[in-house]
């Protein structure tokens, strides 16, 4: 088992090295800082982009408190407590760091926006390994994953290359939904993971269409402001999941559950068709 773990880490590092060799550097575009909505209210620059980060701070603090308040989330594993603690710290820090960045958008301030996000991304990866693969491996992976996120930010800042950060940000976006679907969950309410992933995807679309959405809404709200609000729904759904879930007694993957449900629907449909056929046949015989 230890050899397999080393093999997986080795393959992952090799793939990353190959990626860095065969792909060109991705510098930070200065156009990124040119957001659609730059209005100022109450003396706050870029007001809506600043205050729309407040939900991150609120849900991050709430989640962090509930992690330790009489074990409200009923964590059964120590690694879970550490992983979710890091996640909610990251979420709360996003509320502060992103607000700080949007007061005066530039590369130096962007570091304090992205660093908390990497904490949240990498913590979630560790949590999934703990829940879906192996508790010990997941717990051990928390620190290396957090360090990988930190290094990706430092690499971008010193070498103006976003490739490592892009890997840290987008790999969890692909891997986590796949793991949520394919691997048997330890707890109930696993579909909340997919709702969280859907809102994050919507947030990325809104971010990309910042100026378009601002124009569509007649300069009422921009895509980036909506992006903050949708992204804040991710920790909201995960907090609700933690509050509602119980230990899964019959560990079946979502994919298998969907297959069973689909089979039952098809069987029920076949039975209904069969009954209708028999009923029609009887009526036909009676008429003769």
Binding residues for Zn(2+): 102
72: Cα within 13 Å, side-chain hemisphere: 15
Q: What is the DSSP string of 192-220?
A: HHHHHHHHHHHHHHHHHTHHHHHHHTTTS
SS3 70: coil
Around Cβ 98, how many Cβ atoms within 10 Å? 26
Binding positions are 102
Instruction: Provide CB contacts within 8 A for 113, sequence distance 6+.
Output: 94, 97, 98, 100, 101, 102
Element (H or E) spanning 68, and its range? helix 54-68
Cβ-based burial of 15 (10 A; exposed 0-12, middle 13-18, buried ≥19): exposed
Residue with tokens 């999941």: 241
Query: Facing residues of 187 across strands?
Result: 247
Around Cβ 42, how many Cβ atoms within 10 Å? 6
Q: What is the DSSP string of 15-40?
A: HHHHHHHHS---PPPGGGG--S----
Residue 65 has which token pair?
Answer: 């408190």
Whether the CB-CB separation of 88 and 97 falls below 8 Å is answered with: no
Residue 30 has which token pair?
Answer: 């200065």
DSSP summary character for residue 184: P
Whether the CB-CB separation of 234 and 200 falls below 8 Å is answered with: yes
């Amino acid at each position: 088992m230890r050899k397999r773990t080393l093999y997986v880490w080795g393959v992952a590092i090799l793939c990353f090295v190959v990626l860095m060799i065969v792909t060109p550097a991705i510098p930070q575009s200065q156009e990124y800082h040119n957001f659609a909505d730059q209005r100022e209210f109450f003396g706050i620059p870029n007001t809506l982009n600043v205050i729309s980060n407040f939900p991150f701070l609120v849900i991050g603090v709430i989640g962090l408190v509930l992690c330790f308040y009489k074990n409200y989330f009923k964590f059964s594993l120590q690694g879970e407590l550490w992983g979710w603690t890091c996640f909610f710290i990251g979420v709360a820090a996003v509320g502060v760091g992103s607000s700080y960045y949007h007061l005066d958008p530039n590369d130096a301030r962007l570091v304090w926006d992205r660093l908390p996000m990497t904490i949240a991304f990498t913590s979630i990866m560790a949590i999934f390994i703990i829940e879906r693969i192996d508790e010990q491996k997941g717990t051990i992976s928390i620190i290396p994953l957090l360090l990988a996120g930190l290094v990706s930010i430092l690499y971008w800042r010193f070498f103006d290359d976003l490739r490592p950060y892009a890997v840290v940000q987008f790999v969890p976006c692909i891997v986590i939904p796949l793991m949520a679907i394919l691997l048997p969950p330890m707890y109930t309410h696993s579909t909340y993971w997919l709702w969280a992933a859907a809102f994050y995807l919507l947030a990325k679309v809104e971010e990309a269409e910042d100026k378009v959405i601002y124009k569509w809404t007649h300069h009422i709200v921009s895509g980036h402001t909506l992006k903050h609000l949708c992204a804040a729904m991710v920790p909201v759904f995960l907090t609700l999941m933690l509050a509602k879930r119980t230990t899964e007694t019959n560990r079946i993957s979502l994919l298998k559950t969907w297959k069973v449900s689909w089979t039952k629907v098809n069987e029920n449909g076949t039975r209904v068709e069969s009954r209708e056929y028999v009923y029609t046949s009887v009526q036909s015989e009676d008429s003769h």
